[in-house]
């Protein structure tokens, strides 16, 4: 947990004219990076297990750029689909490399959401045996460009792609193009031709059989696709701004998890009360949440980097159980008292030095004025202070971490 993500990147992008003459739409540059780089980093921060890109038009360019690469530790596989079998056909043609359950997103649109909330939702639907597939919806009064969706009870009742017969539907719910399927469900699709469209053939087929549930995003959720010149230009101008967020940098030991000295046993992680729900509240509020931790125990030979990685993967899995995540973990393995290669290492990354913080600030679009460094030691706060970040020294004895941090976030106007 959580699952594989399949990104559909096959389209011709013909509505963008010359822009996509020799470049697949997901590889268009939107203000300094390709749209696909932007989209995948946004997905990978939630800790999905792997990404499968199903490419088509000019697919070799996507293959060359991403195949066998990793983003934030998440492995990426690219399949170039040469048969023009449509989005549904591409899925069916790759059953052998799909996991038991997977999220599907479009390679030309972005929804600013906590995907783990949708994932939690679909798992509940599955456990309750409601259905094996779900769609993420959003209300939008100007829905005509998108698929319109009518719901009843727990299920999608009607699904109409693009213009079709939409005036007949009494709904303002649109399809965001984000789906969850189990492979089990996909296997029940009766394929009547080689070419299968996910939106025109496959989903209506499942909807008719009452197999599709849904979750509706809050009205204000930001959603964009780059399919037409107007929205593409908008994305170029504003996507960076929309993804710029406050960041909360947590120390790890005795801030989020208890530590009795050189904490490294992943089978015995003791969270500070309220810490996991605090992280979820920050995720849902649209903040980035990072962990920066000194792990001098590696320099001292008490444990290895692999041990630290497993500890962090375990923390991430435990957070995902409640729909929370850490965007990135950073740690420094050095210790100023330990000789490496015959000299003492005073690493610029070890707190109170700010190296780990500056790495993150260079890699992510962060609103530094609204950001906060939180730790149980003066060295944690000092690391932030020397690059101008607000620090919060927590004192576990006085009041809960949760209340304390939320209060400071309120003062910094973190929650807009
Ligand atoms: Mg600490
Ligand atoms: Zn270091």
Say whether pLDDT at 282 is over 90: yes
Domain boundary among 242, 274, 302: 242
Measured distance CA(285)–CA(413) in Å, rounded: 11
Residue 265 shares a structural domain with residue 373? yes
Q: In the prediction, which pLDDT does 83 show?
A: 81
Measured distance CA(344)–CA(336) in Å, rounded: 6
Spacing, Cα 378 to ligand 1 middle (Å): 9
User: Would residue 375 count as lying in a domain?
Assistant: yes
User: Would residue 416 count as lying in a domain?
Assistant: no
- Grade residue 275 by pLDDT with cuts at 50, 70 and 90: very high
Residue 150 shares a structural domain with residue 24? yes
Q: Where are the alpha helices (DSSP H) in 30-133?
A: 35-44, 59-66, 86-93, 115-127
Spacing, Cα 116 to ligand 1 middle (Å): 27
Spacing, Cα 66 to ligand 1 middle (Å): 37
Spacing, Cα 246 to ligand 2 middle (Å): 25
Give the list of residues 6+ apart from residue 387 with CB closer than 8 angstroms, or none. 354, 357, 358, 361
Measured distance CA(100)–CA(116) in Å, rounded: 17
- Name the closest ligand to CA 299: 2
Spacing, Cα 304 to ligand 2 middle (Å): 14
- Name the closest ligand to CA 332: 2
Annotated active-site residue 93? The verdict is: no
Task: Report every protein residue that has its C-beta within 5 angstroms of ion ligand 2.
Answer: 332, 334, 347, 349
pLDDT tens for each residue of 3-31: 999 999 987 778 888 888 888 999 999 98
H or E segment and range at residue 215: strand 212-217
Residue 235 shares a structural domain with residue 283? no
Residue 266 shares a structural domain with residue 230? no
Residue 233 shares a structural domain with residue 253? no
Candidates 251, 275, 258, 271; CA nearest to 352 is 251
pLDDT tens for each residue of 293-316: 999 999 999 999 999 999 999 999
- Name the closest ligand to CA 252: 1
Residue 226 shares a structural domain with residue 273? no
Residue 151 shares a structural domain with residue 79? yes
Residue 233 shares a structural domain with residue 251? no
User: Would residue 297 count as lying in a domain?
Assistant: yes
Residue 124 shares a structural domain with residue 140? yes
pLDDT tens for each residue of 202-225: 999 999 999 999 999 988 899 988
- Given the residues 253, 327, 376, 380, the one annotated as active site: 253
Beta strands, E only, 14-163: 50-55, 70-71, 74-80, 101-106, 109-111, 133-139, 148-152, 155-160
Spacing, Cα 72 to ligand 1 middle (Å): 24
Residue 53 shares a structural domain with residue 185? yes
User: Would residue 372 count as lying in a domain?
Assistant: yes
Domain boundary among 227, 242, 257: 242
Spacing, Cα 247 to ligand 2 middle (Å): 22
Spacing, Cα 114 to ligand 2 middle (Å): 32
- Grade residue 324 by pLDDT with cuts at 50, 70 and 90: very high
pLDDT tens for each residue of 64-110: 999 999 999 999 999 999 888 999 999 999 999 999 999 999 999 99
Cβ proximity of 11 and 3 under 8 Å: no
**pTM: predicted TM-score of the whole model, two decimal places:** 0.92
- Name the closest ligand to CA 375: 1
Domain limits for position 321 = 247-411
Q: Where are the alpha helices (DSSP H) in 133-222?
A: 183-186, 203-208
Cβ proximity of 224 and 239 under 8 Å: yes
Residue 10 shares a structural domain with residue 25? yes
Mean per-residue pLDDT over the chain, rounded? 91
Q: Which residue has the tokens 């909330």?
A: 117
- Name the closest ligand to CA 378: 1
Spacing, Cα 308 to ligand 2 middle (Å): 14
Residue 66 shares a structural domain with residue 113? yes
Q: What is the CATH number of the domain that holds 206?
A: 3.90.550.10
- Name the closest ligand to CA 259: 1
User: Would residue 28 count as lying in a domain?
Assistant: yes
- Given the residues 93, 251, 327, 376, the one annotated as active site: 251
Higher pLDDT, 401 or 267: 267
Annotated active-site residue 251? The verdict is: yes
Q: In the prediction, which pLDDT does 401 show?
A: 76
Residue 145 DSSP code: G
- Grade residue 338 by pLDDT with cuts at 50, 70 and 90: confident
Spacing, Cα 72 to ligand 2 middle (Å): 19
- Name the closest ligand to CA 293: 1
Measured distance CA(317)–CA(199) in Å, rounded: 32
Give the list of residues 6+ apart from residue 220 with CB closer than 8 angstroms, or none. none
Q: What is the CATH number of the domain that holds 324?
A: 3.40.50.1000
Percent of the chain past pLDDT 90, that is, above it, reads: 72
Total domains in the fold of the chain: 2
Cβ proximity of 132 and 185 under 8 Å: yes
Spacing, Cα 375 to ligand 1 middle (Å): 6
User: Would residue 114 count as lying in a domain?
Assistant: yes
Helix (H, G, I), strand (E, B) or coil at 108: coil
Spacing, Cα 302 to ligand 2 middle (Å): 16
Domain boundary among 242, 267, 283: 242
């Amino acid at each position: 947990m959580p699952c594989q993500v399949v990104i559909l990147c096959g389209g011709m992008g013909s509505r963008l004219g010359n822009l996509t003459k020799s470049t697949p739409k997901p590889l268009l540059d939107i203000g300094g990076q390709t749209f696909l780089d932007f989209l995948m980093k946004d997905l990978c921060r939630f800790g999905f297990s792997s990404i499968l890109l199903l490419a088509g038009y000019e697919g070799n360019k996507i293959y060359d750029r991403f195949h066998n690469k990793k983003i934030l530790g998440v492995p990426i596989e690219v399949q170039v689909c040469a048969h023009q079998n449509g989005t549904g056909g591409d899925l069916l043609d790759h059953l052998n490399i799909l996991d038991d359950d997977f999220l599907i997103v479009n390679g030309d649109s972005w929804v600013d959401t906590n995907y783990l909330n949708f994932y939690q939702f679909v798992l509940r639907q599955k456990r309750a045996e409601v259905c094996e597939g779900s769609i993420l919806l959003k209300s939008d009064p100007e829905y005509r460009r998108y698929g319109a969706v009518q719901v009843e009870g727990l299920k999608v009742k009607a699904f109409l792609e693009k213009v079709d017969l939409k005036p007949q539907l009494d709904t303002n719910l649109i399809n965001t193009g984000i789906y969850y399927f189990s492979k089990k469900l996909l296997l029940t699709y009766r394929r009547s031709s080689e070419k299968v469209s996910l939106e025109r053939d496959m989903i209506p087929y499942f909807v008719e059989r009452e197999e599709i549930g849904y979750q509706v995003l809050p009205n204000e959720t930001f959603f964009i696709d780059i399919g037409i010149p107007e929205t593409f230009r908008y994305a170029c101008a504003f996507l960076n701004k929309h993804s710029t967020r406050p960041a909360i940098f947590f120390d790890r030991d005795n801030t989020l998890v208890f530590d009795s000295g050189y904490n490294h046993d992943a089978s015995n992680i003791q969270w500070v009360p309220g810490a996991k729900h605090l992280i979820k509240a920050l995720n849902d509020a649209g903040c980035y949440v990072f962990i920066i931790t000194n792990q001098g125990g590696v320099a001292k030979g008490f444990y290895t980097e692999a041990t630290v990685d497993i500890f962090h993967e375990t923390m991430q899995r435990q957070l995902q159980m409640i729909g929370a995540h850490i965007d990135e973990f950073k740690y420094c393995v050095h210790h100023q008292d330990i000789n490496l290669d015959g000299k003492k290492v005073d690493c610029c990354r070890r707190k109170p030095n700010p190296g780990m913080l500056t790495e993150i600030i260079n890699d992510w679009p962060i609103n530094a004025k609204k950001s906060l460094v939180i730790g149980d030691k003066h060295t944690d706060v000092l690391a932030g202070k020397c690059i101008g970040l607000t620090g919060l020294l927590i004192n576990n004895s006085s009041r809960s971490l949760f209340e304390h941090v939320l209060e400071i976030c309120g003062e910094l106007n973190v929650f807009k």
